[in-house]
Amino acid sequence: MRILITGGAGFLGSHLCERLLREGNEIICLDNFFTGRKRNILHLLDDPHFELVRHDVTEPFRFEIDQIYNLACPASPPHYQHNPIKTTKTSVMGAIHTLGLAKRVGARAFQASTSEVYGDPEVHPQPESYKGSVNPIGIRACYDEGKRCAETLFFDYHRQNGVEIRVVRIFNTYGPRMLPDDGRVVSNFIVQALTGKDITIYGDGTQTRSFCYVDDLIEGFIRLMNHPTQSGPVNIGNPGEFTMLQLAELVLKKVGGKSKITYLPLPGDDPKQRRPDITLAQQDLGWQPTVSLEDGLDPTIDYFRKLLKEA
């Protein structure tokens, strides 16, 4: 198949490009390099089945393709809050342009949505039926509401125009190729531990997240995209739930060194707990995570160790 991946030079996008190329597909990787890096896809550039296009999804795009994975959007809070208006535009206009193209060429469209659509959840763990608790005017809203509106557009293009859609709600995912200065918790803690800096816990460290290793997530993407009928939304994430203090201690144990833990103020609207209910993914996609946090941290730490040595 010929497959378009928007945001293909980013953390998740580059792993998806690799996996789909390996399976014999032709890949068009579209990215504006806001948080994506050429380094992530350098090893794919010589592949005759791989094409790189520098483009911004807020502008229309046209290709002859069979499937589109729409991943373009900064994912870490510091990056999406850097230019919040642009973040909303990227989610909303990126979805419109993705769906317009899918409608025109009859392609199946896949949306990388997020657990952030649940906001600071009052239901725990979060099933897909939970409608969420998002503050529409807070500092996370540019991302959360942008992603919620993108989901709306996907389902309306499906109902109104018969576009085939797949919507995944991704829970915190980590692994090699996250940016070292990304600001997300796993990369922050690992880089801090490797460079002997203090580990920065925001708030008291009792807030929880569930961390999925990137290879598990990509497997879930492929299963959902190629499922004959399930449009989603489907939660994909690892139900193992950890406090940020537990994560800091685990990273410190694995990296060693002399970093200490320091406590900084909690950012606004930071969700207190998050864990996916993955019953639907298990039942319909036969999917469940296979890599524990303990095991997934090792290749991630190795990646950052090498990256910091090269710098």
Q: Is 270 in the site for ligand UDP (CB under 6 A)?
A: yes
**Which amino acid would we find at residue 115?**
S
Q: Is 267 in the site for ligand UDP (CB under 6 A)?
A: yes
Q: Is 77 in the site for ligand UDP (CB under 6 A)?
A: yes
Q: Is 293 in the site for ligand NAD (CB under 6 A)?
A: no
Footprint (CB under 6 A) of ligand NAD, residues 42-61: 56-58
Q: How far is the CB of 26 from ligand UDP (least distance, A)?
A: 33
- Nearest 10 degrees: Cα torsion 96, 101, 104, 106: -110
Footprint (CB under 6 A) of ligand UDP, residues 212-251: 244
Residue 14: name the closest of 77, 69, 93, 89 by CA: 69
Q: Which of 98, 126, 207, 259 binds ligand UDP (CB under 6 A)?
A: 207
Catalytic residue among 69, 80, 118, 143: 143
Q: Which of 98, 126, 173, 208 binds ligand NAD (CB under 6 A)?
A: 173
Q: How far is the CB of 52 from ligand NAD (least distance, A)?
A: 11
* Residues making contact with ligand UDP (CB under 6 A): 76-77, 172, 184-185, 188, 200-202, 207, 209, 244, 267, 270
* Residues making contact with ligand NAD (CB under 6 A): 6-7, 9-13, 31-36, 56-58, 71-75, 90, 112, 114, 170, 172-173
Give the active site residues.
143
